[in-house]
Structure 1
Amino acid sequence: MAKTSNKTTMFLSMVLILSLILGVVVKKAESAVNCDAVVGVQSGETCFSIAKAFSLSTEFFLSINPNVNCKALFVGQWLCVSGSPN
């Protein structure tokens, strides 16, 4: 009887883990950004300078570029400059 109990516990644990993973994946898909226009980073540009050039607040710029690392921009990197965060 202990083997059945262990199998049941293991099965329920796997179902719980898969449910949590699925929940994270679905949440990420829902948080996609709608980007209407992009710009390529030029030498010497920063997140702040790009946001300013397109009359965007820093907060809005970061909301439409949620995965950008402003400390590691590189020339040619595409950044969203018009759109809407979800």
Structure 2
Amino acid sequence: MAKINNKAAMFNIVFMLSLLLIVSMADGRGKTLQCDKVVGVQGGDTCLGIIQSSNSTTATFVAINPNLNCSALFVGQWLCVSATFN
């Protein structure tokens, strides 16, 4: 039987809810997002660790990295850590 990581499960739920909220808020604004800074994923990196090291918030990270699967990060993957709306 697989062991469930409660912290990871809670993070994924918060992550998805934040994404839905941000997408619904940004949908009607007509603004586009431009990534200003990216980082490459390294061995052992997690979304939470990248969020913390970039002094970002989960909501911002989710908004600037749509369709990101934090459970399947891979070495060399580029993630946006800073962006502006145009």
Query: Normalized against structure 1, the TM-score is what?
Result: 0.59
The SS at the match of 2:60 is helix
- Cα deviation 1:5-61 (Å, max 9, x = unaligned): xxxxxxxxxxxxxxxxxxxxxx8xx67531001000010111110010010011111
Change (3 A) 1:71 1:43: same
**RMSD between aligned residues:** 2.0
CA distance in 2, matches of 1:85, 1:72: 27
Structure number with higher helix proportion: 1
5 Å-filtered alignment, 1:1-86, equals 32-84=32-84
State the AA in 2 paired with 1:38.
V
> Which is higher, the Rg of structure 1 or of structure 2?
1
CA distance in structure 1 between the aligned counterparts of 2:70 and 2:31, rounded to whole angstroms? 20
Question: Could you list the runs of 5+ residues in structure 1 that have no partner in the other structure?
Answer: 1-26
**Could you tell me the percent identity over the aligned residues?**
53
Q: Which amino acid aligns with 1:53?
A: S
With normalisation by structure 2, the TM-score equals 0.59
Q: 2: distance between equivalents of 1:85 and 1:62? A: 14
- Count matched residues: 58
> Which segments of 5 or more consecutive residues in structure 2 lack a partner in the other structure?
1-26
